[in-house]
């Protein structure tokens, strides 16, 4: 049985406003407020790990929440860290199989380095049940120590938001603090379900900082507002694109999702995978953009390859109706599109980017993504507000050495998109007590 306790109709910007209220700032709580209390801190440790070495290759998400961890330790709390990692399948995989692929051991090793053995107790064998209870029980009052629970997604009840899972997790703590901005758009046991059983709950400093940065700049942006969207699935972002054509001045779309939009205009996209069920919604959205006067930019030329995995028979051609034969895939935007995106985006004073322009993990298919990164760097140095959200976009900017001038690099991809869309975000809504809960 799933559990939830939040109001879905309340305008999201009102929720954001209330979460930024001073009384919900854990940093301003009295010095002894957390002393001796078991505080469960939901973090986002879903970080890339090298398969061969088992070493975390990008620790930015971990380091982003270290100030929160250290604050709660300094306040004398018995700190319990909880996170998901990867996509284990508890209904299909054995515990041993999941542990081999998705254990938080690499993260625990990094925390040991950052916090030291005096502050970090190590990794618990589970996130609920006897093993978790024993690990938390070892955090005695008066000891300034933290423990990391094993991957919450080792239990199907986390993603299913089951009442039993949420109750078992809540039993470990006295206070719940959510500082995992990257998952606040998820309605899951360790994000939302737990709040039904823990009256004391707060947004963490990282979430509050993200909300302050994003809300100010995206709800009331300095105009013109430009948005760059990429990635694979239209289904994941059509709601955001539809919302953006109502508020943005320029919307540039790349990545595989652009091919579904191109197909909706009658372009032949070869063997490139499209989402046929979304062709009509795409046509409606493009029609609405034209009505409103939003400049919706689609690729005018594309890098084609006969292979998705390596560069074979590469060429760049214009995008015109019914000209591309089968057995070829669109893998990146072309130079003409890169130039158009750059020219249009440099007219904007606020730019938000989420998602790669192509299959950028293959170096030969990464030019379009790098070009957008350079455009945002150029815009930043010209005084524009630039915001990047999403792991792939952040990784691309970092790899290109272009992150220095970016105004804000968000720790949440899907979360930042839903914040713009103004819908959902159950992980934020459940941090606020409803009127019925106040009466209990």
The catalytic residue positions are: 61, 233, 391, 414
Output b/e per residue, 340-353; b: 16+ Cβ within 10 A: bbbebbeebbbbbb
Pairing between β-strand 120-123 and β-strand 146-148 as defined by DSSP bridges: parallel
Residue with the two structure tokens 């948005």: 227
d(CA 192, CA 205): 18
- Annotated binding residues: 44-46, 61, 84-87, 153, 186, 237, 330, 361, 390-393
The two three-digit tokens of residue 315, written as one number: 């060429």
350 three-class SS: strand
Contact status, residue 261 vs residue 282, Cβ threshold 8 Å: yes
3-state secondary structure string, 292-312? HCCEEECCCEEEEECCCCCCC
**Listed residue (175, 129, 136) closest to 154, CA to CA:** 129
Whether the ω angle into residue 224 lies within 30 degrees of 0, i.e. cis, is: yes
The two three-digit tokens of residue 258, written as one number: 């652009």
d(CA 212, CA 114): 27
d(CA 413, CA 410): 7
* CB-side neighbour CA atoms (13 Å) of 323: 10
Neighbours of 38 (CB within 10 A): 18
In angstroms, the first-to-last Cα distance of the chain is: 22
């Amino acid at each position: 049985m799933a559990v939830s306790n939040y109001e879905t109709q309340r305008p999201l910007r009102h929720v954001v406003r209330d979460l930024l209220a001073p009384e919900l700032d854990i940093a301003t709580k009295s010095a002894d407020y957390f002393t001796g209390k078991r505080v469960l801190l939901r973090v986002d440790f879903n970080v890339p790990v090298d398969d061969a070495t088992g070493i975390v290759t990008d620790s930015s998400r971990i380091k982003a929440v270290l100030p929160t961890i250290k604050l709660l330790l300094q306040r004398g709390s018995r700190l319990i860290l909880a996170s998901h990692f990867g996509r284990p399948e508890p209904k299909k995989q054995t515990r041993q199989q999941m542990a081999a692929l998705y254990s938080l051991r690499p993260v625990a090793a990094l925390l040991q380095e950052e916090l030291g053995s005096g502050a970090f107790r190590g990794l618990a064998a589970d996130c609920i049940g006897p093993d978790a209870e024993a690990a938390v029980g070892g955090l005695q009052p008066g000891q300034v120590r933290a423990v990391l629970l094993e991957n919450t997604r080792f239990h199907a009840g986390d993603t299913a938001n089951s009442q039993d899972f949420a109750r078992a997790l809540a039993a470990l703590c006295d206070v719940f603090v959510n500082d995992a901005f990257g998952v606040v758009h998820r309605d899951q046991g360790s994000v939302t379900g737990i709040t039904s059983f823990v009256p004391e709950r707060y947004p963490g400093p990282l979430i509050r900082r993200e909300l302050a940065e994003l809300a100010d700049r995206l709800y009331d942006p300095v105009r013109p507002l430009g948005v760059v969207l990429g990635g694979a699935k239209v289904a994941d972002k059509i709601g955001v694109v539809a919302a953006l054509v109502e508020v943005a001045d320029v919307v540039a779309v790349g990545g595989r999702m652009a091919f579904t939009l191109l197909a909706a205009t009658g372009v032949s996209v070869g063997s490139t995978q499209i989402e046929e069920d979304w062709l009509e919604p795409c046509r409606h959205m493009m029609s609405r953009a034209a009505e409103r006067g939003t400049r919706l930019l689609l690729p005018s030329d594309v890098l084609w390859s006969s292979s998705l995995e390596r560069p074979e028979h590469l060429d760049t051609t214009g995008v015109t109706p019914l000209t591309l034969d089968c057995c070829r895939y669109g893998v990146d935007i072309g130079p003409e599109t890169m130039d158009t995106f750059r020219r249009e985006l440099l007219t904007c004073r606020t730019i938000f980017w989420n998602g790669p322009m192509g299959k950028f993990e293959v170096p030969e298919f990464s030019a379009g993504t790098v070009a957008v990164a350079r455009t945002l760097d150029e815009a930043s140095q010209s005084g524009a507000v630039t915001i990047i959200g999403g792991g792939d976009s952040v990784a691309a900017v970092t790899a290109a050495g272009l992150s220095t001038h970016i105004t804000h690099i968000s720790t949440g991809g899907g979360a930042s998109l839903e914040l713009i869309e103004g819908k959902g975000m159950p992980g934020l809504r459940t941090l606020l007590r409803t009127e019925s809960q106040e009466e209990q």
